[in-house]
């Protein structure tokens, strides 16, 4: 079977029709992982025995079912999960030495709901440590490499999930998006990344980074694939205090790519100095394509966009400094021994946290400290309100907002690790959606001259994920960027030829 051309929807249909068994499809993906993983390093943990065991059970249930329509909708479908979401019985390291070998006793709600729908988790994907990064270079277990060019980053922090999907190691993977960590790697790897509205999918079982920003999202090949996963994960969860009591929508994708009556806003602040010309050109051509499908394009302004980086890098590290205080060498993971409890605490955190995590803890602790709280954290929260107002005002005029995902295509590994500010600026176009809590979707709209994918994002009013998915689907019905596959040599080496 040619997995390079199989989407999640294709896998579901093939299983439903009996064209392939779950054991066969799971073995095929595991074989592809075995061949390509040494070159990509998308995974931190694999469970091939458990995956095949669950695949055999899925096949047994399908064979014995008297009414096939009663079966779970994704029965026997293999997926991967970012290693910041708990999966019972699998390690959850968050890409950090401080959680090395930690195995949680419960499933994250998003994971459990997909398990209830029949999926098989084949493994946990690589991530920047505690999801703090834009390149997956901050993982304590080594970087992930972009399948289109292994000298380039896959984006972050969900780089492992994006790379695994782009390389067709799995048909879909879960990621998380705190400041762009689903959409940016989706753009860099040429796949589709959905970041839902804040509170739409439960955060229970997600190891917290920035509690007011974290969202669970999906990495898939197409918007139609994301539409299969999203409604199964969405919905209120009493175990998450930020979970919203909103009905789960029924996703109905259009049969025809007709966007008449849709108004798409284009913010002038996103087409700024420093934007790679090929990125700007591809995104503008994609917007023109949406106009050709019937959409009306409207110039808008999101005036506080330039403040996204400083506001985010006060709020997120402040929340991280509180959330990561629990990792002390006493309750979780390995311990660096010392003479006293405080000695253990200092040595464990000092040696087992990576440099980026320590940098953000220090930034956040400083912003929350006496004498500086009002000057930094409180003021950042006030400016965050202005971001929400920007989007509210824009959505009075338009139905969606279209913009670049990142200022450039995937950059070479190692070029930004010694310059934190340069790395932080990679998130300037994705941060506003997190600060405002609105949903967004990223998908491929072209390639640059080096054969690297270019992504565009659409943003919508809160809880309008169906609109995002429908428009992205309409675009993908009439283009083929999302069908391009990285070429692999016989032993799994990759090249970038769109």
Closest by CA position to 487, among listed 478, 477, 476, 498: 498
The radius of gyration of the chain from alpha carbons, rounded to an integer in Å, stands at 21
Catalytic residue among 139, 181, 187, 202: 181
Catalytic residue among 22, 82, 135, 496: 82
Chain centroid to CA 432: how far? 16
Alpha-carbon gap, residue 162 to 331, rounded angstroms: 31
441 forms beta bridges with 194, 458
Catalytic residue among 157, 202, 318, 321: 157
| Contact yes or no for 431/302 (Cβ under 8 A) | no
> Is 151 annotated in the active site?
no
> Is 82 annotated in the active site?
yes
> Is 158 annotated in the active site?
no
Alpha-carbon gap, residue 398 to 299, rounded angstroms: 10
Alpha-carbon gap, residue 463 to 199, rounded angstroms: 9
Chain centroid to CA 340: how far? 40
Annotated catalytic residues are: 82, 157, 181
């Amino acid at each position: 079977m040619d997995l390079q051309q199989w989407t999640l929807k294709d896998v579901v249909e093939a299983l439903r029709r009996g064209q392939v068994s779950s054991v066969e499809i799971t073995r095929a993906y595991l074989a592809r992982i075995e061949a390509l993983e040494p070159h990509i390093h998308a995974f931190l943990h694999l469970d091939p025995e458990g995956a095949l065991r669950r695949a055999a059970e899925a096949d047994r249930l399908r064979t014995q079912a008297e009414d096939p329509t009663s079966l779970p909708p994704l029965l026997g479908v293999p997926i991967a999960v970012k290693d910041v979401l708990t999966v019972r019985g699998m390690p959850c390291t968050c890409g950090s030495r401080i959680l090395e070998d930690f195995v949680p006793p419960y499933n994250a709600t998003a994971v459990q709901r997909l398990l209830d729908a029949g999926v098989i988790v084949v493994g946990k994907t690589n991530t920047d440590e505690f999801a703090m990064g834009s390149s997956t270079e901050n993982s304590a277990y080594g970087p992930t490499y972009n399948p289109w060019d292994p000298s380039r980053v896959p984006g972050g922090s969900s780089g492992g999930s994006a790379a695994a999907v782009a390389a067709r190691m799995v048909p879909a993977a879960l990621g998380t998006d705190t400041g762009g960590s689903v959409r940016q790697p989706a753009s860099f790897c040429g796949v589709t990344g959905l970041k839902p509205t804040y509170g739409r999918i439960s955060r229970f079982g997600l190891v917290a980074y920035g509690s007011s920003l974290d969202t669970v999202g999906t990495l898939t090949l197409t918007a139609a694939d994301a539409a299969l996963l999203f409604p199964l994960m969405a919905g209120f969860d009493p175990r998450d205090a930020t979970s919203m009591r909103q009905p789960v929508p029924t996703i109905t994708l259009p049969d025809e790519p007709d966007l008449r009556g849709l108004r798409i806003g284009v913010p002038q602040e996103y087409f700024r100095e420093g934007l790679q010309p090929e990125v700007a050109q591809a995104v503008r051509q994609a917007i023109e394509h949406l106009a050709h499908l019937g959409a009306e394009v409207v110039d808008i302004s999101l005036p506080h966009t330039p403040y996204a980086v400083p506001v985010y890098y006060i709020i997120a590290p402040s929340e991280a400094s509180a959330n990561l205080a629990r990792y002390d060498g006493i309750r979780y993971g390995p311990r660096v021994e010392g003479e006293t409890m405080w000695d253990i605490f200092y040595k464990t955190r000092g040696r087992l946290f990576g440099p980026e995590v320590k940098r953000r803890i220090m930034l956040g602790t400083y912003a929350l400290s006496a004498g500086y709280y009002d000057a930094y954290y409180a003021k950042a929260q006030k400016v965050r309100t202005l971001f929400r107002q920007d989007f509210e005002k824009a959505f009075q005029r338009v139905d969606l907002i279209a913009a670049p995902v990142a200022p450039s295509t995937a950059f070479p590994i190692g070029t930004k690790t010694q310059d934190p500010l340069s790395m932080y600026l990679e998130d300037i176009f994705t941060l506003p959606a997190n600060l405002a809590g609105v949903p967004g979707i990223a998908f491929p709209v072209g390639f640059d001259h080096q054969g690297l994918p270019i992504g565009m994002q659409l943003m919508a009013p809160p809880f309008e994920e169906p609109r995002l998915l429908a428009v992205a689907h309409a675009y993908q019905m009439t283009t083929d960027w999302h069908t391009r596959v990285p070429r692999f040599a016989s032993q799994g080496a990759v090249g970038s030829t769109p």
